[in-house]
């Protein structure tokens, strides 16, 4: 990489409409910080894009100067690829417009949008598309890695609802990608991460959802873990696609519906959302109350927007985070035993294990239909180690890795690329499985010099 001179920076600024930040500028440290506090990197220059033209200018500048490039959308990615040392950080977080066509049930979304931005605009019309469960997550990163959430069993992955995208490629072209135009690029964008260019606009299919949904939590004592987890596993195999239930095991936060003597103790919690008539949903979730003797529950009809933000307080920026993840086609007794064992020795109050239930519509797409191929994943497990100080790093990371190894024999193929950490580059080929060879060929076509390599990188053939 060539070091930047003042004349280079002056030239860049002269043709850039957005904000340019350099080390020492007042806002520099705030903007370079991302969600995971373990990532502490210092770009040489931060380009806060205000338009597609700014993105084009930034890519061209990086290409001419042989600069390492990182791309920031929401800045939520666990691996921290949004920021790098001594590089050009292309920051898209100011580009946050959402346009909704309620008649066509379509939304056009800029790459700096968070889930909160997208959900708010779509819910004005009683519409939504499958996204994640934390409203501060960036739409761009979530989508490019696959994307799933409460609506996925009914309506598929986020990428299953992507209709088209506008992209700035490594050779500084603006191209449109869809099933009928640059279809090979569109195939790769749906799960291929940021490997093929910078998406400046996403077009999504929307579905009728809410504005109110039946949702909430049921919390069980940890000493019932083996029994309630087994019942959860069997219940989720046959529940209707309108219903989604996720499992969280962690130390109980001070939730008002839990007895005070439970706060800070290990628990098993089930989070549920029913994308249909709440009365019918109430009947369907009744068997869950028989999983065991609950500490308490908080279930009711509430705005979908509110439910999408329920877990935000547990996922605020500023903590140190390390994740490990497996896919499962079925939750076996062995997997349940391992979850119970390691949930019983959480290394910090914020650590948790969660299992996101997908399947349903997500499994009806052929594995080769797009870059994301893990269509046999009915469950995605995330071992979420989270803590406050560097002195806890070794203990918390070791716990996550040990649990990951313990559950590996029960996992299915593939992995969710958005849950891979910065030390898991050796798992990228495994994550993509049958589509990896085609992805390498596509990378050679659209980014032969690997300009876009601050990601879970797919190297050109």
Q: What are 289-342's pLDDT values in tens digits? A: 999 999 999 999 999 999 999 999 999 999 999 999 999 999 999 999 999 999
pLDDT score at 436: 97
Tell me the average pLDDT of the chain.
Answer: 96
pLDDT band at 123 (very low <50, low <70, confident <90, very high): very high
- Residue-level pLDDT at 426: 92
Q: Rounded to a whole number, what is the distance in angstroms from the first to the last CA of the chain?
A: 22
pLDDT at 6: 86
What is the tally of helices (H) and strands (E) in the chain?
Answer: 14, 18
Q: What is the phi/psi pair of residue 85, to 5°?
A: -80, 140
Instruction: Assign 31 a pLDDT band (cuts: 50, 70, 90).
Output: very high
* Dihedral of the alpha carbons of 160, 91, 166, 67, in degrees to the nearest 10: -110
- In the three-class reduction of DSSP (H, G, I as helix; E, B as strand; rest coil), residue 405 is classed as helix
What number does CATH give the domain 98-209+434-446? 3.30.465.10
- Confidence tier at 111 by pLDDT (50, 70, 90): very high
- Of the candidates 439, 322, 419, the one whose C-alpha atom is nearest the C-alpha of residue 379 is 419
For the chain, the structural domain boundaries read 9-91, 98-209+434-446, 212-419
Query: How many Å apart are CA 423 and CA 427, to the nearest integer?
Result: 9
φ/ψ of residue 166, rounded to 5: -100, 135
- The pLDDT tens digits for 394-428 are 999 999 999 999 999 999 989 999 999 999 999 99
Q: Which fold has domain 212-419?
A: Vanillyl-alcohol Oxidase; Chain A, domain 3 (3.40.462)
Q: Is the pLDDT of residue 42 over 70?
A: yes
Burial class (CB in 10 A: 0-12, 13-18, 19+), 440: middle
Determine the average pLDDT of the residues in 227-248: 97
The string of pLDDT tens digits covering residues 251-284 is: 999 999 999 999 999 999 999 999 999 999 999 9
pLDDT at residue 282, rounded to an integer? 96
pLDDT, tens digit (0-9, with 9 covering 90-100), for 179-221: 999 999 999 999 999 999 999 999 999 999 999 999 999 999 9
Can you give the pLDDT at residue 2? 57
The proportion of the chain whose per-residue pLDDT surpasses 90, expressed as a percent, equals 97
Q: Give the residue-averaged pLDDT of 352-378.
A: 97
- CB 232 within 8 Å of CB 247: yes
Element (H, E) at 58: helix 52-65
Indicate if the pLDDT at residue 1 is higher than 60. no
Whole-angstrom Cα distance, residue 297 to residue 289? 9
Q: Which fold has domain 9-91?
A: 3.30.43
Is the pLDDT assigned to residue 8 strictly greater than 90? no
Name the region of 75 (left: φ>0; alpha: ψ -120 to 50; beta: rest): left
CB proximity list for 256: less than 8 A, separation 6 or greater: none
- Tell me what percent of the residues of the chain surpass a pLDDT of 70: 99
pLDDT tens column, 62-104? 999 999 999 999 999 999 999 999 999 999 999 999 999 999 9
């Amino acid at each position: 990489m060539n070091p930047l001179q003042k004349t280079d920076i002056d030239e860049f600024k002269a043709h850039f409409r957005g904000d340019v930040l350099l080390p020492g500028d007042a806002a520099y440290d705030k903007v370079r910080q991302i969600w995971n506090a373990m990532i502490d990197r210092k770009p040489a220059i931060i380009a806060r894009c205000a338009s597609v033209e700014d993105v084009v200018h930034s890519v061209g500048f990086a290409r001419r100067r042989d600069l390492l490039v990182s791309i920031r959308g929401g800045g939520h990615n666990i691996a921290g690829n949004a920021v790098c040392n001594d590089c050009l950080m292309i920051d898209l977080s100011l580009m946050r417009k959402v346009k909704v066509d309620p008649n066509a049930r379509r939304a056009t979304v800029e790459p700096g949008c968070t889930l909160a931005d997208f959900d708010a605009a779509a819910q004005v019309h009683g519409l939504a598309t499958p996204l994640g469960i934390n409203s501060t997550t960036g739409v761009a990163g979530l989508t490019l890695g696959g994307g799933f959430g409460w609506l996925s069993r009914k309506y598929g992955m986020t990428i299953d609802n992507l209709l088209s995208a506008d992209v700035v490629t490594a050779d500084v072209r603006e191209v449109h990608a869809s099933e009928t135009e640059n279809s090979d690029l569109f195939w790769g964008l749906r799960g291929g991460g940021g490997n093929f260019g910078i998406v400046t606009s996403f077009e999504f299919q929307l579905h009728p959802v809410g504005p109110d949904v039946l949702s909430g939590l049921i919390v069980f004592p940890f000493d019932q873990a083996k029994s309630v987890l087994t019942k959860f596993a069997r219940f989720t195999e046959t529940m209707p696609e309108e219903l989604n239930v996720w499992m969280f095991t962690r130390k109980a936060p001070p939730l008002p519906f839990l007895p005070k003597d439970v706060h800070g103790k290990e628990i098993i919690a089930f989070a549920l959302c029913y994308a249909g008539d709440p009365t019918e949903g109430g009947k369907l979730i009744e068997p869950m109350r028989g999983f065991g003797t609950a500490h308490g529950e908080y279930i009711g009809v509430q705005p979908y927007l509110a439910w999408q933000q329920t877990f935000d307080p547990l996922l605020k920026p500023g903590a140190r985070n390390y994740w490990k993840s497996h896919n499962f086609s079925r939750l076996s007794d062995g997997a349940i035993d391992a979850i119970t064992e390691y949930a019983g020795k959480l290394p910090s109050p914020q650590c948790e294990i969660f299992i996101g239930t997908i399947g349903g519509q997500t499994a009806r797409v052929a594995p080769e239909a797009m870059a994301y191929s893990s269509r046999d994943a009915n469950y995605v497990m995330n071992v979420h180690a989270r803590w406050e100080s560097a002195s806890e790093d070794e203990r918390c990371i070791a716990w996550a890795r040990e649990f990951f190894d313990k559950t590996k024999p029960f996992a299915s193929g593939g992995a969710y690329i958005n849950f891979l950490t910065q030390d898991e580059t050796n798992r990228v080929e495994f994550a993509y499985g049958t589509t990896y060879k085609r992805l390498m060929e596509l990378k050679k076509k659209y980014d032969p010099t690997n300009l876009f390599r601050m990601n879970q990188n797919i190297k050109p053939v």
